[in-house]
Structure 1
């Protein structure tokens, strides 16, 4: 989400260590789960078979972990952070799936700036984030550390 202090398309210099960025939210639907199964080829019964899932701790199909991660990526885009300034995703480390996401759950992403490093090239810098994907009730469903490369603010 854009504010006067943080417009869309943030440069390396615009991030402050310790700052938290909160994205908009999005509801995961059964259609999302089925579409992701079709795209990925992952038709595991835990995602697609209501009868099978009645005998699991979840009671119903759950979203694929990578689906939830992908939705969080879309929410990061919706927040405008990367508009015209992102250069690369360098890594995802310590990705943990800590709670299930079901049809009807609404998720958003909270990213805390953990570290910033200049690179040997003056036009870019690296920002590391501690990310949490959170459901509507405050339950954290996934955590990870991501490292992204951003453009540096152009010098006039």
Structure 2
């Protein structure tokens, strides 16, 4: 017997302008930073060299901006919002690195719906979010405006 599993994600119609979502949390580790340097090939000393960083503005290596962005994507997935209903990432605008993320920082993603637009295809719609990476102390580390294409309810 085959059982069809329904998506647990949100459809276009489920989003309301002004609605906010807070993701689960995740702690960034030195292993994350080193693994991202290996994956990306970005071995800039600000990310990989403790001695170099001791006298720098952050005192220790910091996470790559794109690493934090990638973790934010994972946190959004972990929230279940996109599970089975997201079609595509369409656009990021105004991506800003506001504060460093270091080893031991625990981050969450806060998303606020800014806009919804129907498309010419009746089975999908565009939702625009303000997405913020929030550190354990409440400080915003990154922010951006992002547009996603979501399924509409069948």
> What's the TM-score, normalizing by structure 1?
0.94
Pair 1:101-2:101 in alignment: yes
Equivalent-residue separation in structure 2 for 1:49 and 1:138 (angstroms): 27
Q: How does 1:82-101 map to 2 (within 5 A)?
A: 82-101=82-101
Number of the residue aligned with 1:74: 74
Number of the residue aligned with 1:130: 130
> C-alpha displacement at 1:118, in angstroms?
0.2
Q: Which runs of 5+ in 1 are unaligned?
A: 1-6
Map Cα deviations across residues 99-138 of structure 1 (whole Å, 9 max, x no partner): 0000000000000000000000000000000111000000
Structure 1 residue ranges (4+ consecutive) displaced by more than 4 angstroms after TM superposition: none
Number of the residue aligned with 1:115: 115
Aligned residue for 1:76, secondary structure, equals helix
> What's the TM-score, normalizing by structure 2?
0.95
Number of the residue aligned with 2:64: 64
**Is the contact between residue 8 and residue 79 of structure 1 (CA under 8 Å) also seen in structure 2?**
no
> C-alpha displacement at 1:55, in angstroms?
1.4
Aligned residue for 1:61, secondary structure, equals coil
**Is the contact between residue 11 and residue 151 of structure 1 (CA under 8 Å) also seen in structure 2?**
yes
Q: What is the number of equivalent residue pairs in this alignment? A: 148
Q: Which runs of 5+ in 2 are unaligned?
A: 1-6
Map Cα deviations across residues 34-67 of structure 1 (whole Å, 9 max, x no partner): 0000000000000000000011010000000000
* RMSD of aligned alpha carbons: 0.8
Equivalent-residue separation in structure 2 for 1:145 and 1:117 (angstroms): 15
Equivalent-residue separation in structure 1 for 2:89 and 2:66 (angstroms): 16
Equivalent-residue separation in structure 2 for 1:82 and 1:59 (angstroms): 37
> C-alpha displacement at 1:8, in angstroms?
2.7
